């Protein structure tokens, strides 16, 4: 008897690699889609590693049951969304939106637009917070990476669909209550919506299955400044709430996503394919490639969001360590993620003492991730 696919919600700030991830999810057989179609699940096997600061055995990562996409607003969000929608391993039961690469209102518009492109307007979109968890209104918006519209300055026409009347936090709480222990949230932007759900409903932590976070930079520099990764810097207070909440959290940081590169040659393959999602992405990718050429002097782009999405779809592609993660919320290192791996016993109480551990991804089968992303984008 075929196993039920995982249910996911994507919390996202829709951009290019978010789109890829969502399209892949809709092609993953481990995931159940909102139309109730089930495909075969697969077993997950966890390994370990012994490099540098991460030398603990990798904890066994059970595959999540549902995926909820916490949606962003940039190219890589777009990739992630397309990948998710092409992943029969998971059922995408909703998109929730958040600021990041564009403001939340535009993130919601992009989410609705991408679902129309994918022919999946049955999937609900819940609009997220317009301010940080501390009510901050000075938001860091990275439109210079993904274009003013988050989708390569293509200025697509407005979507016909409308978002849910529920807020993102309320939607997350409701779905966790409906499917206790079965919903996985894939967070592709700042963690404000999830932190709000934690604050608004004490039962949320008990009911939610897993939270996969695209965020942090563990033992490497950030991508906003040497200390901070963009999603964590977007709302460091929210990130610290989520990381210390006691939820089953897996953080996928720059130390992993910078290993996964879509090359110019890969882009040419997408352009030659007949896949609907591949053709759509080729229209919007130039701004993203141009940014990487200028910022990183590389002929390719990092697949941040699709990589995080695939950590939920197929955990066997990753190895992890465990430890307490705290987030610096002020000063020049604001947004810094600091992992205590419990290798040393300190003689005094610290800010990490008695806090719950999370999982942190440390290695990835990068060729397998790129191959899977390419296959699911071209087979559309």
Of the pLDDT bands very low, low, confident and very high (cuts 50, 70, 90), residue 93 is very high
What's the CA gap between 267 and 303, in Å, rounded? 12
What average pLDDT is seen over the chain? 85
Separation of alpha carbons 248 and 206, rounded Å:
10
Q: What is the pLDDT of residue 45?
A: 30
pLDDT tens digits along 46-63: 223 323 344 444 544 445
Please report which confidence band the pLDDT of residue 287 belongs to, taking 50, 70 and 90 as the band edges.
confident
Q: Quick one: which of 9, 311, 31 has its CA closest to 175?
A: 9
In this prediction, residue 150 carries a pLDDT of: 67
Strand 300-302 with 261-263, pairing = antiparallel
3-state secondary structure of 127: strand
One-letter-per-residue 3-state SS of 84-122: HECCCEEEEEEEEECCCCCCHHHHHHHHHHHHHHHCCCC
Token pair listed for 164: 């849910």
**Residue corresponding to tokens 């719950």:** 356
**Residues involved in catalysis:** 304
- 6-378: CATH class: alpha beta
First to last CA, the chain: 27
- pLDDT tens, position by position, 118-135: 999 999 999 999 999 999
pLDDT band for position 33 (50/70/90)?
A: very low
pLDDT at 302 over 90: yes
Q: Please say if the pLDDT value at position 68 is more than 80.
A: no
Confidence check: pLDDT of 89 > 60: yes
Residues 6+ apart with CB under 8 A from 348: none
Specify the residue for token string 């519209």.
149
Q: How confident is the model at residue 145 (pLDDT cuts 50, 70, 90)?
A: low
pLDDT for 207-223, tens place per residue?
999 999 999 999 999 99
pLDDT band at 294 (very low <50, low <70, confident <90, very high): confident
Helix H or strand E encompassing 177 = helix 168-178
Name the pTM for this structure. 0.87
Residues 6+ apart with CB under 8 A from 375: none
Cβ(107)–Cβ(159) under 8 Å?
no
Of 26, 48, 151, the residue nearest 359 (C-alpha): 48
- Annotate 223-291 with DSSP letters as a single string: SSSSS--HHHHH-HHHHHHHHTS-S-EEEE-HHHHTT-EEEHHHHHHHHHS--HHHHHHHHH-HHHHHH
pLDDT at residue 87, as a whole number: 87
Q: How far, rounded to the nearest angstrom, does the alpha carbon of residue 125 sit from its chain's CA centroid?
A: 16
Q: What single DSSP character describes residue 317?
A: G
Taking each helix axis as running N to C, give the angle between helix 192-200 and helix 236-243, from 0 to 180 degrees, rounded to the nearest 10: 50
Give the whole-angstrom CA distance, residue 253 versus residue 226.
Answer: 14
């Amino acid at each position: 008897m075929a196993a039920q696919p995982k249910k996911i919600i994507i919390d996202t700030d829709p951009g290019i690699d978010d789109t890829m991830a969502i399209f892949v999810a809709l092609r993953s057989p481990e995931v159940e889609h909102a139309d109730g179609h089930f495909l075969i699940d697969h077993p997950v096997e966890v390994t370990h590693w012994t490099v540098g600061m991460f030398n603990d055995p990798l904890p066994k990562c059970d595959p999540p049951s549902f995926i909820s996409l916490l949606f962003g607003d940039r190219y890589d969000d777009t990739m992630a969304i397309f990948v998710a929608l092409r992943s029969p391993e998971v059922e995408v039961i909703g998109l929730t939106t958040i600021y990041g690469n564009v403001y939340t209102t535009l993130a919601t518009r992009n989410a609705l637009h991408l679902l129309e492109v994918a022919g999946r307007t049955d999937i609900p979109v819940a609009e997220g917070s317009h301010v940080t968890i501390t009510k901050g209104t000075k938001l860091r918006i990275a439109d210079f990476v993904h274009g003013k519209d988050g989708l390569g300055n293509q200025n697509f026409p407005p979507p016909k669909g409308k978002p849910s009347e529920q807020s993102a936090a309320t939607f997350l709480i409701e779905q966790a209550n409906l499917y206790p222990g079965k919903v996985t949230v894939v967070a592709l932007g700042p963690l404000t919506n999830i932190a709000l759900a934690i604050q608004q409903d004490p039962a949320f932590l008990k009911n939610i299955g897993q939270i996969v976070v695209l965020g942090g930079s563990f033992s490497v520099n950030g991508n906003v400044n040497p200390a901070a990764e963009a999603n964590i810097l977007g709302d460091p207070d929210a990130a610290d709430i989520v990381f210390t909440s006691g939820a089953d959290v897996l953080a996928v940081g720059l130390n992993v996503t910078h290993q996964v590169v879509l090359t110019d040659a890969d882009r040419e393959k997408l352009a030659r394919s007949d896949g609907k999602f591949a053709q759509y992405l080729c229209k919007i990718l130039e701004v993203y490639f141009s940014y990487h050429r200028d910022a990183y002097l590389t002929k390719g782009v990092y697949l941040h969001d699709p990589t995080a999405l695939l950590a939920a779809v197929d955990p066997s592609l990753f190895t992890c360590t465990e430890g307490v993660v705290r987030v610096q919320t002020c000063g020049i290192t604001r947004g810094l993620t600091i992992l205590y791996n419990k290798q040393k016993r300190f003689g005094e109480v610290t800010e990490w003492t008695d806090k719950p551990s999370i999982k942190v991804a440390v290695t990835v089968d990068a060729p397998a991730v790129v191959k899977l992303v390419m296959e699911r984008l071209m087979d559309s």
